Structures are given as structure tokens and as C-alpha cells.
């Protein structure tokens, strides 16, 4: 019996632990050969000595279960190392079909206390890291499509966060990077659709090394049931989006956690005001807009997120 991803190859970045590990195992279980990428630094802030051990352990776990996997120690925020990552997949498996971008770090600080390096490092790993791998994967698929004279199977699954959707006061760098990833994804989806490639973005909620503070008050079940915040709740959606079954799902933002998937619409106009003259005056804007907000919550974006049961993550 064939599996949904038989004959395909995938890259999963940040796959040595947490969400990335669960996603790599899911793709392998669905039949894909996987390149397990992880820079292997022990600190969630990107500190510590890089190590191939996390990636190698996950690759070995896949092979022990009968799958195919190779490990890659590389920093995806480095353009040339991202190139080498995509080349490894192509050289090892003959082609690349799936790219799952998951690598990231945290350097939390309030906006008035954040340093330039804390801003730059998070933007570099998350946003530039997503761009780097996407750039080389996209070039690979475009070339293959031109050579074959038709569409190819290409899938990108990027990782954003509810910090982008609902705000996160102590994470301006992280929230900005995750918002940028959404923009990168929708642009990529439009650019690559003609080649048969889709690009989608997920906002996962899961208990990982990066979210241990956020979910510190949520205890894991003691009766053996699967933790509602387990990464294993997220991985099946990634497997689906990577498959031929999701060919019509493109440029979408999906929130996923604990047995729930929510498809998020693009922003819609909530109110519209027209000037009574050639252009607005200050007084006219005050008369039109101020009353609109008088009876509304002070942070309506967060209030709207709460309707979906979404909170900081």
C-alpha cells in the first residue's frame, strides 16, 4: 500500500527538537525521505556550541523505523549554508519536493529595553532563515518545471505564531519576524503557483523548548493521555499540506493546536469613511473616527483573537 508522500523528499529545519522533530517524523511516516536540519545550539536564544547531535538523533530515529533520513548541521540564517542544505537534499534524493521551515530562536525583551542585536538576531534566524531556504528551493522547482515543461510537486510550509496574530508585549522582534513570514509566504504562493508549488503558513501552539515559559501554568495530563499542547497535534497538518491532497491549498494561514485547525481569513475592512470635501480635515476625522472606537475594547485585535480561543503563543 502506497503512502501519501512515497517517492518524495523533504527538508525540515529546526528538526532536532520539538515541533520540527515531530514534523520530520510525520513526513517520514507518510513515506518521505527527510533531511533533518538543526544547528543544535542548546540555548533557545541561539547561544551555546553548535552540535550535530540533535539532528543526527532524529535522523537515526527515522532510519530505525524503516525510513530514510540524513542529518544536516547548518545555520539557515546563513545564505550559503541554506544553499548547501537544499543541495544536500537534491544530491541525496535526486530532487526536493517539500520544505518545512521551523528553525527559530527567542530573545525576548520589552520594546523599550530591546537591544539592536536582540532585534537583528531574531529577525535573521526566523525571517531571513525562511527566505534563504525558500529562495534556493524555489529556484530548484522553477528549473525543474522549465525542464519538464509543466508543473512539479513543490510544497512549502512556513511557521508563524499567534504572537503575530494577537500581539505579544515582550516579543516585538519575534512578533515582527512572524508577521514578516506571513507576508513572505503569501508572496511566494503567488510567485510559484504557475510551477505547481504551494506555500502555506501555520501558527502552531505546542509545548516546546521555545514556549516553556508561555505554557508554564498548563500541566501535562498525568493519566497517559496525549498532552493537548503536544507537537504531535501539529505535525499531521504539516503532512497534509505537504501532500498532493492539498494541491488547492495555497497562500493560506492556519492556526493549529490540540486537535483544532482554524483557517484564518485575510484582514477585512471593518469600517470606511469618506471625506465630505476634496480631502479630510483634522476635525472631520475626529468626528468620524473617534466615535467608532468609543465603545470598543482597547485592544480589539487581541479581543478578536480570543473569539477563536487564541492567546499568546
Just list the catalytic residues.
161, 174, 178
Nearest-CA neighbor of 20 among 168, 221, 206, 225? 206
Which 3-state string (H, E, C) describes the chain? CCCCCCCCEEEECCCCCHHHHHHHHHHHHCCCEEEEECCCCCCCCCCCCCCCHHHHHHHHHHHHCCCCEEEECCCCCCHHHHHHHHHHHHHHHCCCCEEECCCCCCCCCCCCCCCHHHHHHHHHHHHHHHHHHHHHHHHHHHHHHHHHCCCCCEEEEEECCHHHHHCCCCCHHHHHHHHHHHHHHHHHHHHHHHHCEEEEEEEECCCCHHHCCCCCCCCCCCCCCCCCCCHHHCHHHHHHHCCHHHCCCCCCEEEEECCEEEEECCCCCCCCCCCCCCCCCHHHHHHHHHHHHHCCCCCHHHHHHHHCCCCCC
Unique residue bearing C-alpha cell 530591546? 114
How far is 196 from 193, CA to CA, in rounded Å? 5
Amino acid at each position: 500500500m502506497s503512502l501519501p508522500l512515497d517517492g518524495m523528499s523533504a527538508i525540515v529545519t529546526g528538526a532536532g527538537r520539538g515541533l520540527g522533530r515531530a514534523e520530520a517524523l510525520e513526513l517520514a511516516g507518510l513515506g518521505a525521505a527527510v533531511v533533518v536540519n538543526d544547528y543544535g545550539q542548546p540555548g533557545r536564544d541561539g547561544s551555546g556550541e553548535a552540535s550535530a547531535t540533535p539532528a543526527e538523533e532524529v535522523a537515526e530515529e527515522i532510519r530505525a523505523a524503516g525510513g530514510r533520513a540524513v542529518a544536516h548541521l547548518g545555520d539557515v540564517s546563513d545564505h550559503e549554508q541554506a544553499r548547501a542544505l537544499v543541495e544536500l537534499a537534491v544530491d541525496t534524493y535526486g530532487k526536493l519536493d517539500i520544505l518545512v521551515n521551523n528553525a527559530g530562536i527567542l530573545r525576548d525583551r520589552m520594546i523599550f529595553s530591546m537591544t539592536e542585536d536582540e532585534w537583528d538576531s531574531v529577525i535573521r534566524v526566523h525571517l531571513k532563515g525562511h527566505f534563504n531556504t525558500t529562495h534556493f528551493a524555489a529556484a530548484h522547482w522553477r528549473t525543474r518545471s522549465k525542464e519538464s515543461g509543466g508543473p512539479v510537486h513543490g510544497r512549502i510550509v512556513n511557521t508563524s505564531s499567534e504572537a503575530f496574530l494577537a500581539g505579544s508585549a515582550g516579543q516585538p522582534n519575534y512578533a515582527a519576524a512572524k508577521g514578516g513570514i506571513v507576508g513572505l509566504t503569501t508572496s511566494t504562493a503567488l510567485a510559484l503557483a504557475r510551477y505547481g508549488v504551494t506555500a502555506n503558513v501555520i501558527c502552531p501552539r505546542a509545548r516546546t523548548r521555545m514556549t516553556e515559559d508561555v505554557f508554564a501554568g498548563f500541566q501535562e495530563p498525568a493519566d497517559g493521555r496525549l498532552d493537548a499542547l503536544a507537537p504531535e497535534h501539529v505535525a499531521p497538518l504539516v503532512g497534509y499540506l505537504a501532500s498532493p491532497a492539498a494541491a488547492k491549498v495555497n497562500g493560506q494561514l492556519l492556526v493549529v493546536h490540540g486537535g483544532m485547525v482554524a483557517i484564518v481569513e485575510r484582514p477585512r475592512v471593518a469600517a470606511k469613511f469618506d471625506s465630505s470635501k476634496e480631502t479630510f480635515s483634522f476635525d472631520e476625522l475626529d468626528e468620524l473616527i473617534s466615535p467608532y472606537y468609543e465603545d470598543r475594547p482597547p485592544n480589539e485585535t487581541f479581543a478578536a483573537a480570543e473569539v477563536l480561543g487564541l492567546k499568546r503563543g
